[in-house]
Amino acid sequence: MLTLSKPLASFLIFKSSLIFCNKLNTMEFGTKPISTIVSGAHRITNDEASISIQEWHGWGTSSPIPTMVTQVIDDLKLLEQNSDAHMVFGGNHGRLMGDFKVQEDKKHRAKYQSLNDSEKKLEFYSARQIACRLLGSRGYLCQKCWVPLEDCMCSRVKCCSLWNRMRFWVYMHPKDFLRQNNTGKLLWQVFGIEDATLCLYGISEHEDMMWNAFKCSGKDNVWCLYVNKNVATKSIQDTFSLDFIRNSEQPEKMANNDGSMNFILIDATWSLSAAMFKRLKERANEVWGEDMPCISLNMGVSLMHKLRPQPSWDRTCTAAAAVGLLDELHLLPGFNSFGLDKQAEAVEDALEVLLEVLTNRRLRMGRSITRRERHSSNIC
């Protein structure tokens, strides 16, 4: 049984059939009333519509700029040159607006239809989401914490070294890229981008990088933290016995892999996560001829009564899943000397800061922080 000391830990509650969601459901931060959309609109000129490698890296990745993202941006520029409408972003700053939006909608739908390869379709879809978010968030969000600049929380996040054998992969849906209430980003804010690496779904540069790392680590050192009644999962206790540590540290084992233990966290809403898991599973079968090994957390029912009254999280968030994983590992024989409890605490603290910053921001803007009715069925 877990012994989580802080009240914050109380929202690290899982139901066995639920997956981790990645954002606060009390706050629809991406949804603004029309009046805000109009007043927050801003134009991107043709000269401004390009992304440098420095800017790309600034958002939390060390990959090259995805080729398809560059292509989408070039297409946007071309459209602006050939039309009388201006490229204007508004709302959540990743959405096009006005006449340009109408024209771009037609164009991107036609392009999507013209692609007959489902792989290309996915990559185009993801790249377009990412390109719009990159252009629309510039100058509005802090690149490091993805929170609007006036509420930047960077100075309040304490960095911490992750145990050197662990590595998190934040497998993020493009719809969550640059969302201020996303929590997967907290992992690399705390641990750095080498130990908690962003992998954008459908972006070949990112997915190939992740799978190359998996190949180096070997299939016995990759796990997806995933909970779904249709997918067989093993508990952390069953997966990481004392023998695991002893065996994995044998010189002959270490010679065949880099010794990293890779944990994939699917960073998406529940409804989108199934497709992402399916993609991981298919690739695992392609690479290893086996299914992706899945692990689930063993969050005790007795923690339920400690549920914090408000604000609440949607099921549980990605960062909280990482906290749960670190805490559970810490309790296992052989794992208790790596400071995993402190690492869990660092993520918990960052989560608390994010929650506070977003709550204050919302209150300042006169918006409600109460849970929306339609999400009430998700309350753990």
Q: Out of 43, 86, 95, 144, point to the residue binding Zn ion (CB under 5 A).
A: 144
- Write down the least CB distance from residue 339 to Zn ion, Å: 26
Q: Shortest Cβ distance from residue 186 to Zn ion (Å)?
A: 12
Q: Which stretch binds Zn ion (CB under 5 A): 32-40, 147-155, 243-251, 302-310?
A: 147-155
Strand order in the sheet with 88-90: 42-43, 88-90, 95-96
Asked if residues 294 and 276 have their Cβ atoms less than 8 Å apart, the reply is no
Give residue 163's region: left, alpha or beta (phi > 0; psi -120 to 50). Answer: beta
Q: Per rule CB under 5 A, is residue 8 in the interface with Zn ion?
A: no
Q: Minimal distance in Å, beta carbon 156 to Zn ion? A: 9
Strand-pair category, 95-96 with 294-296: unpaired
Q: Which is nearer to Zn ion, 60 or 311 (CB)?
A: 60
* Interface with Zn ion, residue 79, by CB under 5 A: no
Residue 168 CA to chain centroid, in angstroms? 11
* Lookup: tokens for 44: 């991107």
Give CA–CA dist 48/252, Å, rounded. Answer: 53
- Least distance to Zn ion, CB of residue 361, Å: 13
Strand pairing report for 88-90 and 95-96? antiparallel
Q: Of 145, 160, 236, 319, which lies in the binding site for Zn ion, with binding defined by CB under 5 A?
A: 145
Distance CA 217, CA 205 (A): 19
Distance CA 54, CA 109 (A): 30
Residues contacting Zn ion: total by CB under 5 A: 5
List the one residue from 79, 142, 216, 274 that touches Zn ion (CB under 5 A).
142
In the complex, minimum distance from the CB of residue 365 to Zn ion, in angstroms, rounded to a whole number: 18
Instruction: Compare residues 140 and 244 and give the one whose CB is closer to Zn ion.
Output: 140
Q: Does 152 bind Zn ion (CB under 5 A)?
A: yes
In 3D space, the residue among 137, 108, 163 whose CA is nearest the CA of residue 42 turns out to be 137
Q: Which two tokens stand for residue 333?
A: 């024989």
Shortest Cβ 191–Zn ion spacing (Å): 16
The residue range among 4-12, 144-152, 322-330, 331-339 that interacts with Zn ion, by the rule CB under 5 A, is 144-152
Which residues of this chain interact with Zn ion, rule CB under 5 A? 142, 144-145, 152, 154
